[in-house]
């Protein structure tokens, strides 16, 4: 109870207990209640004491000092926001280094300086593939971070759980923002990285756990948590737990092992009163004549006041006001009243479009006079549920206990299935808060034509084709309306295969509007990210499933070399909730458990299936044999209590062809899964989901990289290791532009559904940074102009973005190209479309282009000012048309690429005077600093003079009557001036005279063959361009300077 340095200190704590706790114990009936109450009281005091210590640590002055140290040590851009920092140890080998861990919006950073040894570590959140709490002999509690294959361990935290929660939130935020745009765009809370705070992240994490646990709308935020007791009338017991309050709900979850939980919508509350002050009680009365008594609530008087204000605000709001009648009926004792919800919500006549009956009641109505044994058992199930409703309440605010789960495991009766699915999933809350929403969606979405509607039409008749409901227009039309309405509501998901199978089962037992809201609950809350383009959510749960297999079925893991088998087999289990592998009468029992327990029920059942077939799977020699074993097992699963007629049941399950597999009842299988694996906690599953999400995302990214490198390696001479490092630099530059710019065009156009090469692209500004870091020509005085012209040359579609293939190919030419290839590249940089006039900025003098100027010049060649980036992107990706893949566009793109490879130097356009002058300047700048600089300058003067004379002679031969005078004299001055050290003055003179000559002599130009032939006569040129450059040194330097380059630009 207490500890202290003296007896007096101990006695002080004991006296407090006597005055504040002892006098309350008399109200309890048993010793167990007293023990539970005292333990809860002590826990509450400890929690309050912990909160106080946290508050003291959040000292603004200390945080300001930490921020200054963070900025000084790491040199990150000033836009990088520090969220918080902690004192800890970083393990370098077997030696712990004490220092500070800094958590910012985009980086995890560590700094230590002890005994003259400095350790500096910067890891971007998007590069982390593993983040977990670990414990071993040396480190009792530590945080393990894995990035790019390197392991990092941090320990000696004062509050390790708080630290890990924040790290998890920041890593998850970065992953969603940079890799998973379609889910991130719906999340406005963290849309701006500059608005992220430690308190906001903690609050967000708690709110997510709260809404997921109680199946509430995602918009609900946790406002208050109170440790208290809830009186459970049917067991005459005070359950110890926590009262959680949000904007529209009061929830309670026990923490004493009784598995008791309650959800009270404020729309149903009709009164909040103070109970006995000695017990610090709060009474909450709801419609349906139910009352909930909470006791030992800290600050109960203030809580009563707050709840009264909330209830008054809720009752006066219009959507909630419409639904008070709905809430009242759903809380009543009659199950039939609950079925009246949709008809009261729909304020308009929707009988012409929306079905108001579940398909099962139409095609398989129950006969009250039928005394079949299965029907009798069904009636007994209904009676058990009616008794439960009588004792524990009926509707949203019913008590949910272990008895409730036991009845769900036995299978929900056919008559109550739709109602209870709606209740346990939380879809009833969504529907009650949005009256008439589905009807409006149906009206808006009908007649629309998109890729999603085309796919829906294709799959309609593949949805439970054996069921008579989907052999008629009634079922098909209802399924079409629900799927089309959802695709209209959520275009990020649209339609995904497996949604049709799930929705068809929902329509069997729920009315059409109810089925829609059940689909919303599944897609957006219970199975997040399952039905997007990359089914990331399903892949994450597969990884969780594999982790559970390693823990619970290690012998199976050892036998199945690698886990790919489990991934391929279990994907349909998760996407369709076993509906695709089990007969419908057995699958609905699985769906019952899913709506009550969430994904935990699917994981438990999957483990039970593998354990049941353990011996046969261990005897299998390959994956195909194992798949056959599981398929035969699923064919043998039955539901002996199902009242459905045989016509509905799948033919493959009515008889066993080989007769070598005993029948397995689905109820027994589910009960076994609960008994064997019921200790898997919801909190553990969510923790594993967060942990494996990082791993899944990085695995997908690795696959993308491998595919890109495989394609690009065919066109370049770089080694695989060099190409891999170039890709990492390119990708990092892509992300660096996204870190601090919410409206980054690169981020806005990142789409994981695009072809691999188009997923990561960079703009002109990013290309300039990489050119400065990697190009062998980056020492050139007009390097900004060269970067601009190179980007314009590569950006053939004028959408302002280039991909990795284009980037690596131009670098390959600079490093590995022949003399002719490099000269051809320089030639093409100085003619349209790459070349653009930037003389006013005098780039030859080394004046850098600003970011705004760079963007302006890079966009000059865009043909139409009205063309958007999206329409330009369509040109480069045939997949981005009207949602359909354009085969003709792919063929044309392929043909264009072949023609480019066969490009002949004779096909290159001629270079006019101003372009040739700029070409000469670029050559002078490239030669600067070379050991043979003087020799190269003389050579270029000779070549320039020779070319000008050749052009003059050629023009005289072609036009005998043309004047003898030519611009050769003036341009010769500019060609010889670098030797005399007068580059600056001659550049201006050349520009002026060149422009004047161009106006007077429009036909004055050079072909590439002329320039090539002239330069080949000078050995110094050939030696310069064929000189090898080591790119590995530039790459290592770029790794260290890339982040600093971003701060300079």
CATH number reported for the structural domain that contains residue 660 in this entry: 1.10.472.80
d(CA 633, CA 631): 5
Q: Which of 1027, 1037, 1029 is nearest to 770 (CA)?
A: 1037
Residue 783: other Cβ atoms inside 10 A = 22
Q: What letter does residue 556 receive in the DSSP assignment?
A: H
Peptide bond into 833 cis (omega under 30): yes
Q: What letter does residue 752 receive in the DSSP assignment?
A: T
414 with 478, same domain: the answer is: yes
What are the tens digits of pLDDT across the range 641-666? 888 766 455 544 444 444 557 899 99
**pLDDT at res. 799:** 84
CATH number reported for the structural domain that contains residue 188 in this entry: 2.30.29.30
d(CA 480, CA 463): 11
217 with 310, same domain: the answer is: yes
The residue to which tokens 């009563």 are assigned = 304
What are the tens digits of pLDDT across the range 848-862? 555 555 555 555 543
CB 756 within 8 A of CB 903: no
**pLDDT at res. 110:** 96
d(CA 329, CA 335): 9
885 with 835, same domain: the answer is: yes
d(CA 88, CA 167): 14
Structural domain includes residue 1023: no
Structural domain includes residue 245: yes
**pLDDT at res. 614:** 92
- Spans of the chain below 50 pLDDT: 50-57, 318-352, 647, 651-658, 839-847, 861-885, 962-1002, 1048-1049
Structural domain includes residue 1032: no
210 with 178, same domain: the answer is: no
**pLDDT at res. 971:** 41
572 with 485, same domain: the answer is: no
| Angle between helices 536-552 and 564-576 in degrees, nearest 10 | 120
Q: What letter does residue 400 receive in the DSSP assignment?
A: B
**pLDDT at res. 653:** 46
The residue to which tokens 């983040």 are assigned = 131
Structural domain includes residue 305: yes
The upper half-sphere exposure of residue 560, i.e. CA atoms within 13 Å in the direction of its Cβ, equals: 26
d(CA 499, CA 576): 8
Structural domain includes residue 1036: no
673 with 800, same domain: the answer is: no
Residue 834 belongs to what H/E stretch?
A: none
**pLDDT at res. 293:** 94
Q: 3-state secondary structure string, 876-889?
A: HCHHHCCCCCCHHH
374 with 461, same domain: the answer is: yes
Instruction: Calculate the CA 512 to chain-centre distance.
Output: 31
d(CA 1042, CA 1035): 10
CB 405 within 8 A of CB 596: yes
Q: Which of 733, 810, 789, 792 is nearest to 766 (CA)?
A: 733
| Angle between helices 512-521 and 499-509 in degrees, nearest 10 | 140
C-alpha gyration radius of the chain: 36
d(CA 609, CA 720): 44
CATH number reported for the structural domain that contains residue 342 in this entry: 1.10.8.270
Q: Which residues contact 129 (CB under 8 A, 6 or more apart)?
A: 146, 147, 694, 695, 698
| Angle between helices 536-552 and 682-712 in degrees, nearest 10 | 120
Structural domain includes residue 741: yes
CB 458 within 8 A of CB 451: no
**Torsion, Cα of 1008, 1013, 1014, 1017 (10° steps):** 150
53 with 65, same domain: the answer is: no
560 with 686, same domain: the answer is: yes
Number of domains in the chain: 7
The whole domain housing 185 covers: 60-196
Q: What letter does residue 850 receive in the DSSP assignment?
A: P
Of 687, 712, 737, the domain-final residue: 712
775 with 814, same domain: the answer is: yes
Phi, psi of 350 (to 5 degrees): -120, 20
**pLDDT at res. 89:** 92
Q: What letter does residue 317 receive in the DSSP assignment?
A: S
Q: What letter does residue 123 receive in the DSSP assignment?
A: E
Q: Which of 899, 687, 922 is nearest to 783 (CA)?
A: 922
51 with 127, same domain: the answer is: no
**pLDDT at res. 384:** 96
Of 196, 214, 247, the domain-final residue: 196
| Angle between helices 804-816 and 720-739 in degrees, nearest 10 | 130
Structural domain includes residue 1041: no
CATH number reported for the structural domain that contains residue 774 in this entry: 1.10.238
**pLDDT at res. 602:** 96
Six-digit token pair at 913?
Answer: 């005077």
Of 286, 316, 346, the domain-final residue: 316
Structural domain includes residue 1025: no
520 with 658, same domain: the answer is: no
């Amino acid at each position: 109870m207490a500890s202290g340095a003296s007896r007096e200190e101990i006695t002080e704590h004991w006296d407090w207990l006597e005055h504040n706790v002892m006098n309350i114990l008399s109200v309890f009936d048993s010793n167990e209640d007293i023990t539970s109450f005292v333990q809860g009281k002590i826990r509450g005091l400890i929690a309050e004491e912990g909160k106080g210590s946290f508050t003291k640590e959040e000292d603004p002055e200390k945080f300001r000092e930490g921020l200054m140290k963070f900025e000084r040590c790491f040199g990150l851009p000033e836009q990088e926001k520090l969220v918080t920092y902690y004192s800890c140890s970083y393990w370098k080998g077997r030696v712990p280094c004490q220092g500070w861990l800094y958590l910012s919006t985009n980086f995890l950073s560590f700094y230590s300086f002890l005994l003259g040894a400095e350790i500096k570590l910067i890891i971007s959140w998007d590069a982390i593939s593993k983040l977990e709490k670990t414990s071993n002999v040396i480190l009792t509690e530590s945080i393990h971070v894995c990035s790019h294959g390197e392991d990092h361990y941090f320990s000696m935290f004062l509050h390790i759980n708080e630290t890990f929660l924040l790290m998890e939130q920041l890593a998850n935020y970065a992953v969603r923002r940079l890799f998973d745009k379609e889910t991130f765009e719906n999340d406005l809370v963290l849309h701006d990285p500059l608005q992220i705070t430690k308190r906001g992240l903690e609050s967000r994490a708690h709110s997510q756990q709260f809404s997921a646990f109680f199946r509430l709308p995602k918009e609900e935020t946790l406002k208050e948590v109170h440790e208290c007791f809830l009186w459970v009338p049917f067991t005459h017991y005070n359950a110890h737990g926590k009262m959680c309050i949000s904007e529209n709900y009061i929830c309670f979850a026990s923490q004493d092992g009784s598995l008791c939980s309650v959800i009270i919508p404020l729309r149903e509350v009709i009164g909040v009163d103070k109970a006995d002050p000695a017990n610090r009680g709060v009474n909450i009365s709801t419609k349906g004549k139910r009352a909930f008594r909470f006791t030992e609530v800290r600050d109960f008087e203030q809580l009563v006041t707050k709840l009264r204000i909330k209830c008054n605000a809720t009752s006066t709001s219009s959507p909630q006001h419409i639904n008070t009648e709905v809430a009242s009926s759903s809380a009543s004792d009659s199950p039939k009243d609950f079925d009246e919800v949709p008809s009261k919500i729909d304020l308009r006549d929707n009988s012409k479009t929306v079905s108001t009956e579940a398909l099962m009641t139409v095609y398989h109505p129950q006969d009250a006079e039928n005394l079949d044994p299965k029907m009798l058992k069904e009636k007994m199930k209904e009676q058990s549920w009616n008794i439960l409703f009588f004792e524990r309440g009926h509707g949203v605010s019913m008590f949910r206990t272990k008895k409730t789960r036991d009845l769900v495991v036995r299978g929900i009766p056919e008559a109550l299935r739709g109602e209870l699915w709606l209740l346990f999933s939380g879809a009833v809350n969504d529907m009650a808060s949005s009256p008439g929403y589905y009807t409006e969606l149906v009206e808006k979405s009908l007649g629309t034509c998109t890729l999603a509607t085309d796919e829906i039409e294709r799959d309609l008749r593949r949805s439970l084709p054996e069921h008579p409901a989907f052999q008629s227009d009634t079922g098909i039309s209802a399924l079409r309306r629900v799927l089309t309405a959802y695709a209209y509501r959520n275009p990020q998901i649209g339609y995904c295969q497996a949604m049709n199978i799930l929705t068809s089962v929902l329509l069997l037992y729920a009315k059409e509007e109810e089925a829609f809201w059940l689909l919303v609950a599944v897609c957006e809350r219970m199975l997040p990210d399952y039905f997007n383009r990359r089914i990331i959510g399903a892949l994450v749960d597969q990884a969780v499933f594999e982790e559970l297999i390693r823990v619970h079925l290690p012998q199976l893991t050892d036998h199945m070399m690698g886990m790919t088998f489990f991934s391929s087999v279990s994907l349909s289990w998760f996407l369709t909730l076993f509906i695709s592998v089990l007969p419908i009468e057995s699958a609905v029992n699985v769906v019952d458990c899913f709506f009550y327990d969430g994904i935990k029920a699917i994981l438990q059942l999957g483990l039970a299936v593998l354990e049941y077939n353990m011996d046969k799977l261990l005897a299998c020699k390959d994956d195909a044999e194992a798949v056959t074993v599981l398929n035969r097992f699923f064919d043998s699963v039955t539901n002996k209590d199902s009242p459905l007629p045989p016509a509905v049941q799948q033919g493959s399950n009515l008889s066993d062809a080989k007769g070598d597999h005993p029948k397995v009842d689905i109820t027994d299988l589910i009960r076994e899964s609960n008994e064997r694996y019921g200790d898997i906690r919801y909190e553990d599953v969510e923790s594993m989901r967060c942990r494996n999400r990082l791993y899944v995302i990085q695995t997908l990214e690795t696959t993308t990289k491998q595919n890109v490198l495989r394609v690009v390696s065919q066109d370049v001479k770089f080694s695989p290791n060099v190409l891999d490092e170039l890709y990492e630099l390119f990708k990092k530059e892509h992300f660096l532009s996204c870190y601090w710019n919410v409206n980054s065009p690169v981020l806005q156009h990142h789409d994981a559904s695009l072809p691999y090469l188009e997923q990561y692209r960079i703009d002109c500004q990013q290309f300039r940074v990489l050119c400065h870091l990697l190009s062998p020509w980056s020492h050139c005085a007009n390097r900004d102009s060269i970067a601009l012209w190179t980007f314009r040359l590569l950006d053939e579609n004028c959408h302002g973005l280039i991909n990795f293939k284009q980037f690596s190919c131009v670098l390959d030419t600079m490093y590995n190209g022949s003399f002719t290839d490099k000269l051809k590249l320089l030639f093409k940089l100085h003619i349209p479309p790459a070349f653009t006039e930037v003389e006013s900025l005098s780039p030859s003098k080394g004046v850098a282009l600003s970011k705004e100027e760079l963007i302006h010049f890079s966009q000059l060649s865009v043909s139409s000012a009205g063309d958007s980036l999206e329409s330009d992107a369509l040109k480069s990706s045939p997949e981005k048309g009207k949602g359909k893949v354009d085969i003709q566009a792919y063929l044309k793109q392929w043909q264009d690429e072949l023609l480019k490879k066969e490009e002949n130097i004779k096909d290159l356009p001629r270079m006019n005077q101003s372009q040739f002058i700029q070409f000469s300047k670029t050559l002078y700048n490239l030669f600067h600093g070379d050991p043979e600089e003087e020799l190269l300058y003389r050579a270029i003067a000779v070549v320039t003079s020779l070319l000008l004379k050749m052009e003059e002679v050629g023009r005289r031969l072609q036009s005998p009557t043309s004047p003898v005078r030519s611009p050769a004299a003036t341009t010769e001055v500019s060609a010889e001036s670098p030797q005399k050290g007068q580059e600056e003055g001659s550049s201006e003179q050349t520009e002026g005279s060149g422009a004047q000559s161009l106006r007077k002599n429009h036909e004055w130009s050079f072909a590439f063959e002329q320039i090539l032939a002239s330069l080949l006569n000078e050995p110094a040129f050939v030696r310069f361009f064929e000189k090898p450059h080591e790119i590995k040194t530039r790459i290592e330097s770029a790794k260290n300077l890339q982040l600093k380059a971003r701060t300079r630009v």
